[in-house]
Amino acid sequence: MTTFRTSVVTIHQLAPDIAEVIVDDGVEMTLSDVQAYHDCLLANFSAPFRLLINKINQYTYTYEAQQGLADLPQIEAMAVLVYSKASMAAMRVLQQQQRENPWHAEVFTSRREALAWLDK
């Protein structure tokens, strides 16, 4: 499996068009961090691509980062893997925000189910 790294994000290539995204524990993601992660996706994955957002770590976003998060038209779908009720609630809040490019995202508590959904 090929792995890519930005300053605060690890991206595993699960398929030419599927990326697993893991943000480092304890960081506050900024807009420049989001842009670096988007640039990595655009440079290394076949569009349209699908994302497995693995929320195994705890982290926060600046307001600007929240607005720019996953705001790429090349993102076809996102399966968000959560491990706690707090992570699930935080994801629901992010999903409700108005976005230029609406999200096609689902939240999962099982990695297997998340990957199966992405493969549809």
> End-to-end alpha-carbon separation of the chain, Å?
21
1, two tokens: 């499996």
User: pLDDT (tens digit, 9 = 90+) per residue, 2-20?
Assistant: 999 999 999 999 999 999 9
User: Distance between CA atoms of 54 and 25, rounded to whole angstroms?
Assistant: 12
For residue 109, what are the contacts with CB-CB under 8 A and spacing of at least 6? Answer: 81, 82, 83, 88
Nearest CA-CA partner of 13 in 37, 55, 54, 41: 41
**Whole-prediction pTM value?**
0.90
DSSP output for 8-45: SEEEEEEETTEEEEEEPTT-EE-HHHHHHHHHHHHHHS
The yes or no reply on domain 2-118 and CATH 3.40.30 is: no
What DSSP state is assigned to residue 24? P
User: pLDDT (tens digit, 9 = 90+) per residue, 29-57?
Assistant: 999 999 999 999 999 999 999 999 999 99
What ranges do the domains of the chain cover? 2-118
